[in-house]
Amino acid sequence: MSVPTRGTSTSSSQIEVTWTALTTSAETGGASITSYHLQWDAGTNTNWYDVVGLTPSYTSTSVILSSSVVAGNTYYFRVRAQNAQGWGSYSDSASIKAQQKPD
């Protein structure tokens, strides 16, 4: 899985997280992706919480988070994919900082 990245809609009040879709290939065991599971951590990179994809399935490759986002704080994200073979490994984590409001 590719590492999640900061989307262009990230601001002081929301974070957009995007990732690259996996295509059916040897990497996916020849099966199509049925869900992406995104988790986030509020700054420690050790306490992970589900955002989307565990239940119900989620096949989009981006999500916007707006609740609990504090301007200037750094958050961590990781993603994994599921198909008929089961869940893959999580990506490396990525840090994304909510933009800070100007003084």
List the chain domain ranges. Answer: 5-21+34-97
Instruction: For residue 11, give the nearest of 63, 64, 83, 53 by alpha carbon.
Output: 64
> How many CA atoms lie within 13 Å of 18's alpha carbon, on the beta-carbon side?
7
The pTM (predicted TM-score) of the whole model is 0.89
The pLDDT confidence band at residue 42, using thresholds 50, 70 and 90, is confident
CATH superfamily to which 5-21+34-97 belongs: Immunoglobulins (2.60.40.10)
Residue-wise pLDDT for 53-82, tens only, equals 998 999 999 999 988 888 889 999 999 999
